[in-house]
Amino acid sequence: MDLSWSAEEESFRAEAREWLEAHVPKGLSANASMDEFEEIIAFERKMFEDGWAVVSWPRKYGGRDASLWEWLIFEEEYFRAGGPHRVTQNGIFLLAPSIFAFGTQTQQDHILPRMAAGLDIWAQGWSEPNAGSDLASLTSRATRDHERGGWVLNGQKTWTTRGALSSHIFGLFRSDPESQRHKGLTYFLVPLETPGVSMRPFARLDGVEEFAEVFFDDAFVTDEQVLGAVGQGWGIAMATTGSERGLTLRSPGRFLATFERLASLARGRQVGESMRERLVDSWLDVRAYQLFTLASVTNIMDKREMGPESSINKIHWSESDLRMYELAMEILGPDAVLDADWSRGFQFSLAGPIYAGTNEIQRNIIAERLLGLPKG
């Protein structure tokens, strides 16, 4: 694995850094809230206008045909410049890879440009009241409507990330009533304005109403809103969750930037030997994740797909992120509650070991699929 950058890649970095330093809004928190939504989406639309929203996508969809290496460079520069967590990220980083892999040409041509431009905001509709990390136990159903040539959706999705900010939702529904577990599931793409779809926002720990419950009551969708083959939704969903747990959503740039802020915080205060050792451990965690990601990109460029290894990624980034924020809270001491940026980041980091599949489930996947251990 070559860890050096070419002259062309360094030129790309310089161009990205110059644009980001000139355009990233100042004073925004890392996590979007309802109050900040309009400002963040306006920034993301400016990114699209100037060709920075989806750098690795084809130019016809608003990208730059950049390589994965250049995408990593852009992400490093984005977070180094203080770019906010993107409200479009569920679409661009989770759904889009599955659209490219499984979508029809018509779906790609319609969905991808609007997603990149920030015109459609996508929510992830996985969890249900009785189906969290065990996604295969979902009960929301899709019933064939032969007369109208489509499907009728019924059920409920909960813990819908960015649901309160979104215009569309992607998710799994059981299309074969006789099926069990991961069989007989179909992947649907649904506008939230569809008749029969309703949404109820609810607050996170920090009071921001960003999550939502989404209800489907005889909501009709056409066959064109099915992604991939009917009954084969599980495989597509696993590709999507692989993006969430592994490479595309959690670039090293995010954690490198967090560490640099943490190191700056520590330099400005007196910290003991124990805290200094934990700071070094955090740097090693972040650097290890960066190298692991570079190795993953090398494998992808060599046409080798990521498998259960994405579960290792998920555990590592979520627990490393939480440890950095815990250390920041200890360094700040009583001032922690007064520092909104660190405090909100800490609250968000608490969810890391839970969302994208709880870390307990990820450890089971590693034990069974990578280590070959028997099921418990």
Q: Is residue 322 within 8 Å of 316, Cβ to Cβ?
A: no
Residues present in the chain in total? 376
Q: What share of the chain is helix, strand, coil (3-state, %, to 5)?
A: 50, 15, 35
- The whole-angstrom separation of Cα 328 and Cα 192 is 39
- The whole-angstrom separation of Cα 170 and Cα 187 is 7
Marked catalytic residue, from 44, 75, 76, 244: 244
Structure tokens at 198: 């309703």
- The whole-angstrom separation of Cα 157 and Cα 212 is 8
Query: Is 244 assigned a catalytic role?
Result: yes
Distance of CA 129 to the CA centre of its chain: 21
* Contacts (Cβ under 8 Å, ≥6 apart) of 175: 141, 142, 143, 144, 151, 184, 185, 186, 230, 231, 233
Active-site residue list: 244
